Amino acid sequence: MATLRLGDTAPDFTQDSSEGALHFYDWAGDSWVVLFSHPADFTPVCTTELGKTAALGGEFAKRGVKPIAISVDPADKHKEWIGDINETQNTTVNFPILADADRKVAELYDLIHPNASATATVRSVFIIDPKKVVRATITYPASTGRNFDEILRVIDSLQLTDSHKVATPANWKDGDDVVIVPSIQDPEELKARFPKGWNAVRPYLRVTPQPNK
- For residue 199, the cross-strand partners are 207
- Residue 157 to residue 139: CA distance in whole angstroms: 19
Q: Do 14 and 71 form a contact (C-beta atoms < 8 A)?
A: no
Q: How many CA atoms lie within 13 A of 207 on its CB side?
A: 8
Verify whether residue 46 is a known catalytic residue.
yes
| Helices and strands, counts by H and E, the chain | 7, 11
Supply φ then ψ for residue 17, to 5 degrees: -155, 175
Nearest to 36 by CA among 151, 150, 132: 151
- Residue 54 to residue 93: CA distance in whole angstroms: 5
Can you spell out the DSSP letters for 68-121? EEEESS-HHHHHHHHHHHHHHHTS---S-EEE-TT-HHHHHTT-B-TTT-SSSB
Question: Strand 65-71 relative to strand 97-99: parallel, antiparallel, unpaired?
Answer: parallel
Q: Which of 4, 22, 35, 46 is catalytic?
A: 46
Q: Do 184 and 165 form a contact (C-beta atoms < 8 A)?
A: yes
Question: Which residues are known catalytic residues?
Answer: 46
